[in-house]
Structure 1
């Protein structure tokens, strides 16, 4: 007989929906760039009051913004020698994967598994 799954940490739906909105804002920023800035500001604001498992999502979102900004700036600079276009393509795929994997873990009410990664969580 299987052991029962541990009950997920109690968190209000508004707290998890804030983190979900930030992931969505990051994805929308692929079309409307300013929403990424709104998302990172929200992550900074909400991470202080969040439980540890949810705080890991906010920290992950903050790192996603800053690492992504670095990738975009490098990609734009290197696009003069055509290598940057590949880096920008990598950034596009990278951002989508990080947001999707983050939302999956958020849906299961799990913390981000590999918070310090520069790629995407396992």
Structure 2
């Protein structure tokens, strides 16, 4: 739950998402074989795919498309973070942690 909360806090601070992904990478090994492992996988993938999509959006800003991608990336990042928090509060694993959808 801490990593998901840090991701959501990054909308206000900008840096807590980086702290969250570092913690997720550290704690993922400790969670092997538990319901929490799927959350770490899900949240790590959420961070890195949104990071790569943001880089692509910056490049695409030269053709205006990038400006429209940033809100979509933020929504995707936020929804995935909230979904992980909801499941974690019930101590349920993420159904498909390797999906790029929700």
Relative to the length of structure 1, the TM-score reads 0.77
More helix by share: 2
Higher RCO (CA < 8 A, seq sep 6+): 2
Match of 2:15 among 34, 38, 50: 34
**Structure-2 residue corresponding to 1:96:** 78
Q: How far off its partner does 1:115 sit?
A: 1.0
> 2:41 touches 2:98 (CA, 8 Å); kept in 1?
no
Q: How far off its partner does 1:86 sit?
A: 1.4
Mapped partners of 1:89, 1:66: distance in 2 = 17
Q: How far off its partner does 1:31 sit?
A: 2.7
Determine which structure has more spread, i.e. the larger CA radius of gyration.
1
Please show how residues 1-40 of structure 1 align to structure 2 within 5 Å.
20-40=1-21
**Structure-2 residue corresponding to 1:73:** 55
Q: How far off its partner does 1:61 sit?
A: 1.0
Pair 1:110 & 2:92 matched: yes
Relative to the length of structure 2, the TM-score reads 0.91
**Structure-2 residue corresponding to 1:17:** none
Structure 1 residue ranges, 4+ long, deviating more than 3 angstroms after superposition: none
Identify unmatched segments of 5+ residues in structure 2: none
**Structure-1 residue corresponding to 2:24:** 43
Kindly report the root-mean-square deviation, in angstroms, between the aligned alpha carbons of the 2 structures.
1.1
